[in-house]
């Protein structure tokens, strides 16, 4: 098994002992992305801005491996407060319009850096 570690300065650096993403074969597993600005490392203030930034960070990592949002087959959304589901879903839907990936969404008690949302995904290279 060939495992390729993915890293780009266009997305926030990992804040622990993990990689931004790992490619194995035709699959790319992206670690959960917070709403951190990649240039400043500062967490965006509200759920809307954090969601947009987390999705932008995912987009930057996908671009680094030659993919885009259309290659995402599965996402998991972690929310601090499930009452934010509607707004997060609206922003998410603007990114994943056609052929949306499979998705899970769960409420969690706490996220790193006290973030309000974290999104992870799996993408696949076309055959």
pLDDT of residue 98: 85
Residues 6+ apart with CB under 8 A from 39: none
Residue 44 near residue 35, CB atoms below 8 Å: yes
CATH T-level fold of 3-124: 60s Ribosomal Protein L30; Chain: A; (3.30.1330)
Local confidence band at 102 (pLDDT 50, 70, 90 cut-offs): very high
Q: Taking residues 94-105, report their average pLDDT.
A: 95
DSSP codes of every residue in the chain: --EEEE--TTSPPPSSSS-SEEEETTEEEEEEE-SB-TTT-PBPSSHHHHHHHHHHHHHHHHHHTT--GGGEEEEEEEES-GGGHHHHHHHHHHHS-SSPPEEEEEE-S--GGG-SEEEEEEEE---
pLDDT tens across 2-45, in order? Answer: 999 999 999 999 989 999 999 999 999 999 999 999 999 999 99
Whose tokens are 């309000």? That residue is 116
117 pLDDT above the threshold of 90: yes
Neighbours of 55 (CB within 10 A): 23
Tens-digit pLDDT profile for residues 45-84: 999 999 999 999 999 999 999 999 999 999 999 999 999 9
* Spatial contact of 85 and 124, defined as CB atoms under 8 Å apart: no
Of 73, 105, 122, 124, catalytic: 105
**Is the backbone of residue 114 left (phi > 0), alpha (psi -120 to 50) or beta?**
left
How many angstroms separate the CA atoms of 24 and 124, rounded? 10
In this prediction, residue 15 carries a pLDDT of: 87
Q: What is the number of other CB atoms lying within 10 angstroms of the CB of residue 12? A: 24
Whether 1 shows a pLDDT value over 80: the answer reads no
Is residue 105 flagged as an active site residue? yes
């Amino acid at each position: 098994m060939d495992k390729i570690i993915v890293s780009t300065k266009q997305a926030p650096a990992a804040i622990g002992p993990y990689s931004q993403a790992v490619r194995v074969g035709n699959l790319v597993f992206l670690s959960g992305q917070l709403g951190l600005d990649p240039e400043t490392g500062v967490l965006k203030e509200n759920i809307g801005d954090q969601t947009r930034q987390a999705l932008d960070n995912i987009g930057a990592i996908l671009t680094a491996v030659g993919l885009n949002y259309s290659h995402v087959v599965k996402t998991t959304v972690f929310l601090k407060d499930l009452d934010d589901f509607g707004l997060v879903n609206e922003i998410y839907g603007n990114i994943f319009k056609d052929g949306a990936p499979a998705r899970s969404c769960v409420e969690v008690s706490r996220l790193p850096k006290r973030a309000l949302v974290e999104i992870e995904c799996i993408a696949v290279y076309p055959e």
